[in-house]
Chains A and B, each alone.
Chain A
Amino acid sequence: MSTLLAAAQVKAPVIDYKELSPLFALAGGSVIVLLVGLFRPLFVRRVIVPVLTAVTLLTAIGLTIWIWEPGGQDPILEGALKVDALSLGISMLFYVAGLVTIVLSLRSTATLEAGHGEYYSLLLGSITGMVLLAEAHSLMTLFIGFELLSIPLYVLCATHLHRRTSLEAGLKYLVVGSVGSATLLYGLALIYGATGAMRFDGIASAIAGDQVSAADPLLLTGIGLAATGLAFKASVAPFHQWTPDVYEGAPTPITTFMAVATKAAAFAIFLRLFDQALGLAQLDWAPALAFLAATTIVIGNVGAIAQRSLKRMLAWSSVAQAGYLLAGVVVGTQLGIKATAFYLAVYLLMNVAAFAVVVARERVSEFGDDLRSFENLGTMAPLLAWPMTIAMLSLAGFPATAGFIGKFYLIDASVAGDYTWLGIAIVIGSVISLAYYLRVIAVMWMGRYEVEMPSVPPRRVRPVAGWSPEADPLAQPEVVAVAVICAAATIFFGLVPNPLFDVARDVASAFPGLH
């Protein structure tokens, strides 16, 4: 009886449907897509399902713009989630990455092998997880979001059911990802144990008060383990070893998605957890993370030098880029958050441009994603060669591309945050990276050019419909369009970065407490 009475007095949490609307749209869309995918006609599966997925994402984008509100926000759902400019801004990157993945997947055999409904539904499921992760405001939602983002990805990596490397990639990602999740969970438990709070604001006030000192060993162990778990997802060295194998094995559209969206999600929670919940312990974790960042920059760039496969090379380069991004987290300032958010957006543009060209080439070339399939692309298919060139120059940080501004911003944030040596590490990493980025450009534009590296056996490729040896790049206009649009945006934001800066400023305004 008494329990019943108690139950009657429990106040149900206020559910803010407006703020939750993008999440509802995504989850609902995911279910609808799955069910529509059950219909037999090929037209429904080939056309209706991707269109519905795109509509879901566009709806989410529309709702996000509708609820966009800069400045510090109060958490909703009893402190479980926080819908502010940080989570909304980075969610935009997930949606854009999702749309790009749909376009790149249109002609992929993975969708057919795995079933169209399942493929796109899992994609939406993963995006839901990412949004949840970016909005997480308590240790519990953090972990739920983390798992919801990961599990569909494990499956998506293995959607090339008839290719061993794809299955291997899925399994490898599953095993390594689970280790990461377990580590993260342990870390979160220890943080809870030390501070007695689940909510991030509770953790922050526990550290600020006398409840726990910032140097408490339990807390520090928890922070270390949580950082390790997140580092797995963000491919921060030395927890990056899965990255090249998984990126290479997964279907390339999924690789694109993982490279840009997963990274953005991991950094969203890095910012939220470290710069907000644990901001007061910054002096304790920042040197360790800075060391990780520097290691990541060096390992990623050195690892990329020896790669012939473009997907592997971009995987290593994404490790290096994670190191650059981490610099923005380490400094724990408004400037650092702005720089990280800015670089995440830029990173999406330049990587999507590069991966789209890889998708286009590996479908028609017998060398797959090997460097050789890019030989003389400059004369054969300038519409593919230019976006790739721009992407490489931008990744390397040449001026007049958005990559330059992004790097400039990150170095600016590092120097202003008293981590000048980390800024120098970014510079040194960029110098090393020239060796492999420039090689791609040389192969495309500078004629016969032998790379002294172990050769890869040519693999049989399943031709794109209507394919001929001199395949016209316009046989897959949608892929070319993605590459060209992203490359054009890379140049545009390199010359006129102010619109992105405005968004970055909004994102950083979500953390009013930081200077």
Chain B
Amino acid sequence: MTIHLSIILFLPLACAIVVALLPPRLGRSAVLAGPLLVLAYVVAMLIDFDPGGGLQYVTNDEWIPELGIHYSLGVDGLNLFMIALTAIAWVPCTLVAAFTELERPRLFFFHLGLAETAVLGAFMAQDLALFIVFFDLMLVPFYFLIGGWGTGDRVRATTKFVIYTLSGSLLMMAAAIALGVLATPDGGSISFSLADLRAHPVALGSQEWIVLLFALAFFVKAPLFPLHGWVPETYRSTSIPVLALLSGVLSKVGVYGFLRIVLPIMPGGAEHWQELFIILAVFSILYGSVLAFSQDNIRLVIAYSSIAQLGFIVLGIFAFADNGAQGALLQMLNHGLVVVPLFLIVGVIALRARGSESLTELGGMAFRAPVLAGLFLVVSLATLAMPGSGNFIGEILILFGTFEDQFVYGLVAAVGVVLAAVYMIRLYQGTMHGRVGAAVESREIDRVNLAAVVPLVAVVIALGLYPQFVVHRTEKATTKALEPATGVSVIR
């Protein structure tokens, strides 16, 4: 079977444009078509994917020859499951949004479709400039989605979000151009194709500052301490379906960039900053965990827990061990899969508490809503990496990888695993058990959210039972991505 990545890539946008042009009633019922079609196509790709092969379904055309930018797409173990995560996450979020009362719904779903195309593009791109194009393009729909349909001081929040993220990614653009120029062989023409960049490594001194600027962009996106300043406001002001995507999928693009671009192309630079990045990662784990524990707003609990989780992922990547990177990749998928239902459940909870999201006002909701409580429990346990969940496997692999060379940091990071249990159980108890909050009305989860959350929970459980499905398809690609970096360490 031939899979055309361009179809997957532009399907959401095309469907979104069609929906935007249909009359409102008709358009409303058609919004799910795009994400569902993409999901179906991606599932076909998952089945068809050859675990032993390298880069597959490659599309490679010249886009702007003058600048050396190629329209180059491809799938290997590194991005296969990121594409799957995107396709999976978009369906429930679109579903929930479709049944929410929205102003200007057609515009909303247009932006949602554009966002899916941009995220998929960033994951598929095999050309550095193309990656940056999609990386920055993501911001446009999210700027509108947060600012147009958020709550509270949304304009301030979305402006802050965009300025933070774009500061990072514009600096990355300058660094990427420098990389392209420096890697151009004498007399040759400039090319941003990842394969060409890998073939012409640049001098170590240049690699160092280029890697630093790349890391800046990726850390802001992730977010990692100390570049998480946009998080509280943005998370508070974003509507639930958009927030689920922001936290579940967008945060992975940055860390994915490390595996796809930084480690294979600039191993020396990555090795130079390894210590610093590991310290930041470990600090993020502790900082995120402690803050997650002390937050009252349930969104922010999850927001800070995400910072901790992303810390784990970065730690796994920069451990420069096969185990670690493998775990990081697994954890990227797992985190996305648990955060999306978590936020959807937060939305359900808030609906039953007159919009309140404060832990002090919540409680006792499980009383008449056993299904809601059950789903929440499964997702919470998965988040805190209960043995038997995919997250457990991911974190164990990351810690194994870290213990190999960075024993002390691994030890400190392990504390984060314990803290995760503390804040997640606090979150679960605070909302579901205890005294019934004043404004709380214990009501079962509605059908729409049930239909959105249950499939996700099923995937989470399935991954916990059979993580080999992911590991088997990714291990070759992670080893290959790490190869240059581990090579450098060995030489030193």
Contacts and interface: CB of A to CB of B under 8 A. Distances in A.
Interface of A: 338, 378-379, 393, 397-400, 404-405, 408-409, 411-412, 415-416, 420, 423-424, 426-427, 430-431, 434-435, 438-439, 441-442, 445-447, 449, 497-498, 501, 504-505
Contacts of B177: 408, 411-412, 415, 423
B75 to A, nearest CB: 22
A501 B155 contact: no
B104 A379 contact: yes
Given A431-B167, A442-B155, A501 B66 contact: yes
10 closest A-B pairs by beta carbon, nearest first, are: A399-B133, A501-B66, A446-B147, A427-B170, A431-B167, A427-B174, A399-B137, A442-B155, A399-B136, A415-B181
Contact of B159 (A379, A442, A504): A442
Interface string B121-153: 000000001001110110110011001100000
Chain A residues touching B, majority SS: helix
16 contacts: A398-B136, A398-B139, A399-B133, A400-B133, A408-B177, A409-B66, A415-B177, A427-B174, A431-B163, A431-B170, A434-B166, A438-B159, A438-B163, A442-B147, A442-B155, A447-B148
A414 to B, nearest CB: 9
B282 to A, nearest CB: 29
A345 to B, nearest CB: 14
Contacts of A378: 104, 107
A402 B129 CA distance: 15
Contacts of A427: 170-171, 173-174
A333 to B, nearest CB: 12
A411 B66 contact: no
A504 B171 CA distance: 26
A404 B166 contact: no
Contacts, number: 95
A193 B143 CA distance: 57
Nearest to A439: B159
Nearest to A423: B174
A404 B130 CA distance: 12
Given A431-B166, A446-B154, A412 B181 contact: yes
A404 B170 CA distance: 10
B64 interface: yes
B129 A430 contact: no
Given A415-B178, A442-B155, A430 B137 contact: no
B67 interface: yes
Interface residues of B, number: 35
A438 B173 contact: no
Nearest to A425: B174
B155 A408 contact: no
Contacts of B154: 446
Nearest to A396: B166
B162 interface: yes
B178 A408 contact: no
Contacts of B163: 431, 434-435, 438
Contacts of B181: 412, 415-416
A399 B170 CA distance: 11
Given A415-B177, A423-B177, A446-B154, A438 B66 contact: no
B67 A438 contact: no
Given A408-B173, A409-B67, A431-B170, A446 B148 contact: yes
B67 A405 contact: yes
A424 B188 CA distance: 25
A505 B66 contact: yes
A432 to B, nearest CB: 9
Given A379-B104, A408-B173, A416-B190, 4 more contacts: A412-B67, A423-B174, A424-B171, A446-B154
A314 B194 CA distance: 38
A505 to B, nearest CB: 7
Contacts of B180: 412
Nearest to B153: A449
A415 B174 contact: yes
Contacts of B178: 415, 420, 423
B66 to A, nearest CB: 4
Contacts of A420: 174, 178
B185 to A, nearest CB: 14
Contacts of B155: 442, 446, 449
A431 B167 CA distance: 6
A439 B160 CA distance: 11
A504 B136 CA distance: 26
A438 B143 contact: yes
Nearest to A338: B66
B166 A497 contact: no
A405 B132 CA distance: 12
Contacts of A441: 143
A165 B144 CA distance: 36
B148 A445 contact: yes
Interface in B4-41: none
